[in-house]
């Protein structure tokens, strides 16, 4: 494994790692001015181009993971999947399942347990159907929506907020 660390004076700013010795970087670690981890990027395709990013909160907890698809020419495309965490627990997943740049699937979680999934079938950025599930994965309810995202749903640990934009 080869490692390069870029510094600002005596403070590390970024570390790059070639994990398998093939001459291509597979891991990038970015550091905040206080020395704590800001984000880690990885190249799942092992082509030297990052395609997954893990973001950390000020105390080191995971707050968001973004995953992009890798295009046929080896470059990274747009982010397809965003996982959102609260207190290191997965609470929501947003996905662009058709690659048009807009979220069209929302999953609501209590850690590893999927509580509900919402789908946007008409590509207007708003959910058209909600499927609610029991902890064992059984579907307990299917509901057609009017296209207006829910503001708050309760269940599991506290409340889960409705769909976010890609900006946050």
Q: What is the pLDDT of residues 106-156, one digit of tens each?
A: 999 999 999 999 999 998 889 999 999 999 999 999 999 975 555 434 333
* 151 and 98 within one domain: yes
5 and 56 share one domain: yes
* 31 found inside a domain: yes
pLDDT at 6 over 50: yes
The pLDDT value given to residue 74: 66
pLDDT at 147: 53
Query: Which pLDDT score is estimated for 73?
Result: 72
Q: Could you tell me where the beta strands, DSSP code E, fall in 19-138?
A: 27-31, 37-42, 52-56, 62-70, 76-86, 89-95, 105-110, 113-119, 129-133
Q: Would you tell me how many other CB atoms lie within 10 Å of the CB of residue 147?
A: 12
pTM of the model: 0.79
Residues 17 and 62 in one domain: yes
The reply to whether 78 falls in a domain is no
In a domain, 75, yes or no: no
- Domain of residue 39, residue span: 1-70
Mean pLDDT confidence for 66-80: 80
The model's pLDDT over 48-69, given as tens digits with 9 standing for 90+, comes to 889 999 999 999 999 999 999 8
77 is a domain residue: no
Tokens in use for 132? Answer: 């609610």
């Amino acid at each position: 494994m080869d490692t390069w660390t870029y510094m600002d004076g005596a403070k590390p700013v970024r570390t790059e790692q070639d994990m398998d010795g093939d001459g291509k970087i597979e891991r990038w670690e970015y550091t905040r001015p206080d020395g704590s981890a800001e984000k880690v990027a990885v190249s799942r395709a092992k082509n030297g181009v990052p395609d997954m990013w893990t973001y950390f909160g000020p105390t080191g907890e995971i707050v968001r993971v973004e995953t992009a698809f890798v295009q046929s020419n080896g470059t990274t495309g747009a982010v397809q999947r965003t996982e959102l965490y609260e207190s290191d627990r997965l609470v929501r997943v947003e996905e662009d399942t058709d690659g048009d740049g807009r979220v069209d699937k929302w999953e609501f979680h209590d850690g590893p347990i999927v509580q509900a999934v919402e789908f946007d079938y008409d590509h207007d950025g708003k959910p058209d159907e909600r499927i609610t599930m029991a902890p064992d994965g059984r579907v307990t309810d299917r509901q057609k929506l009017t296209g207006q995202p829910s503001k708050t749903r309760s269940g599991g640990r506290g409340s889960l907020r409705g769909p976010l934009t890609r900006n946050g």
